[in-house]
Amino acid sequence: MRSSKGPMFHDPDLMPFTPLEKPSLWAMRENFLVNYPRAAYREDRSVLPGFPPVTPKINLIMSPALIEEMLVTRAEEFSRDRLTVSTLSGPINKESLFFAEGADWKWQRRAVSAAFRHENLLAQVETFAACAREQAALWRRLEAGRPVDVAPAMSRVTFEVILRSVLGAAPSFDRGRFVAELAPALGAIGWRRICAIIGLPPDLIPHPGSFRAAAALRYLSQATRALIEERRASGVARNDLLQLLLSARDPETGRVMTDAELEGNLYTFLVAGHETSAVAMSWSLWLLAKDQATQERLREEVRAVAGEEEIGPATVEKLVFTRQVLQESMRLFPPAAGFARQPRERTTLGPYHFSKGETIAVLIWCLHRHEKLWDDPHGFDPDRFAPEKVKARHRYAYIPFGAGPRICLGMSFAMLEMTTLLATFVREFRFSTAPGHRLVIDARFTTRAKGGMPLLIEPIRPTAEGELAPAA
């Protein structure tokens, strides 16, 4: 087994494409990452020339110092960019916290932040473990030796986690259909991005999958509204995120969320709250299937920390290496590959000048693989996230959840959730790669693998009931 200080793991699939010499509008449908120039992996700033005369250039920044200046030090001087708003305002819901700006964003952010206090999150670990145990029981019933696509399994388990945490009991909610309708709703994002790039309104221009996506979005909207109406009709106040949204009040103006804002925020938490975790979990299992030595090291840590008991609030934060595996997984394959801002007025970042409204993109994918920031950037090495190495690195060299005031509100929730899930699964099963599978990236919404993530899953700790022993 590779020691904790041994050589990192290498595999050609860890950099699964070659950057194009010239950007391709067609590539924006599924994997826009190929358009990022080679310079984006080694320079502080680059430019994507666009597609003249149809589209303007996009400025690319990969310098942690410039990122800190834009997202942290001077965050209020920049807003979400037009391209992101146009592309995602259908699938994500424009009334949500994701798109809110200024005072509206501030009070809504404050209103829901209480749900993400550390003590409240630790209380959810038992829910995370229960969902992991249920998924493990499903895997134990499968036929041995046949590849299993872990991507939909991770979507199911992370959606169940977010559903129980956000809503608690929701007996009339059709979980299966809601998750199924997300596929066409989010699958049209690639075409929406192309429409937005060339200046056409994505909601009005027919494109492949647009009618199916519109029908899916109508269902998702109706299902989300029904959850809100069901809670109101019940007259029962619960200690969950939905209740916080319903009772939120701006301390300065006294206003509450409109029905549109309630729906937008609940829908966004349901979608984004499980999608990014599902993607990160899928990549983590795939990387461990590739690197058996790291998989065994993680398994040994779980056994040493938790023994045969379920992962609980007292043990989850002791799983240091498990967390490092997740961090390295999100370095190589960040669920969100990038995002952008635009200056509200003409401005500078470092030595660079930008016009009002000019798109400035932060390329997380390239930042996390930057030659000046990471040794052997395409290798897999969880020890990059050992505490002493993290301290030696610029704080904004690694931003899988964003940075600054708009950093992902669910970051700590996701890390506790994924640590619990990954530790449970690796202790219970050995994951191996499926023969003949070739990785292709699909980055329309999040950084997924096209065609799923088939792995071989072998139980290694059989029990009478296919479940872990409950924590003492």
59-100 pLDDT per residue, tens: 999 999 999 999 999 999 999 999 898 888 888 878 888 888
Q: Range with the lowest mean pLDDT among 78-82, 193-197, 301-305?
A: 193-197
Instruction: For residue range 207-227, list pLDDT tens digits in order.
Output: 888 999 999 999 999 999 999
From the number of C-beta atoms within 10 Å of its C-beta (0-12, 13-18, 19+), residue 206 rates as exposed
Segment 183-190 shows an average pLDDT of: 89
What pLDDT band is residue 6 in, cutting at 50, 70 and 90? low
Strands (E), 62-184: 78-80, 148-149
Scanning 141-240, the segments in alpha helix (DSSP H) are 150-167, 175-187, 189-197, 210-234
pLDDT of residue 388: 96
Strands 429-433 and 148-149: unpaired
Q: Is the pLDDT of residue 5 over 60?
A: no
Residue in the structure block whose two tokens are 């109406």 = 229
The rounded distance, in Å, linking the Cα atoms of 269 and 287 is: 27
CA-to-CA distance for 407 and 395, rounded, in angstroms? 13
Per the confidence metrics, is the pTM higher than 0.85?
yes
Length of the chain: 472
Q: How far apart are CA 352 and CA 237, in angstroms?
A: 52
Say if residue 208 is preceded by a cis peptide, omega within 30 of 0.
Answer: no
Average pLDDT over residues 288-315: 96
Mean pLDDT of all residues in 30-40: 90
Question: Position 2: which residue type?
Answer: R
Instruction: Provide the Cα torsion 469, 470, 471, 472; round to 10°.
Output: -100
CA of residue 453 relative to chain centroid, distance: 16
Catalogue the E-assigned strands of 63-138: 78-80
Return contacts of 404-412, CB within 8 angstroms, 24+ apart: 404/71, 404/72, 404/75, 405/72, 405/75, 405/109, 406/71, 406/75, 406/105, 408/276, 409/97, 409/109, 409/112, 409/113, 409/116, 410/116, 410/269, 410/272, 410/273, 412/116, 412/118, 412/121
Instruction: Please give the order of strands across the beta sheet that includes 454-459.
Output: 148-149, 454-459, 429-433
CA distance 60 to 43: 10
**Average confidence score pLDDT of the chain:** 90
Q: Is 140 exposed, middle or buried (0-12, 13-18, 19+ CB in 10 A)?
A: middle
| pLDDT of 389 over the 50 cut | yes
What pLDDT, on a 0 to 100 scale, did the predictor assign at position 465? Answer: 46
**The pairing of beta strand 148-149 with beta strand 454-459:** antiparallel
For 79, the 3-state DSSP assignment is strand
Contact present, 330 and 280 (Cβ < 8 Å): yes
54 vs 440, residue with greater confidence: 440
Torsion sign, CA atoms 422, 428, 432, 438: negative
The pairing of strands 347-349 and 448-449 is unpaired
Residue 310: pLDDT band by 50, 70, 90 thresholds? very high
Residue 107's pLDDT is what? 84
What mean pLDDT do residues 373-397 have?
96
Residue closest to 223 by CA, chosen among 172, 258, 259, 184: 172
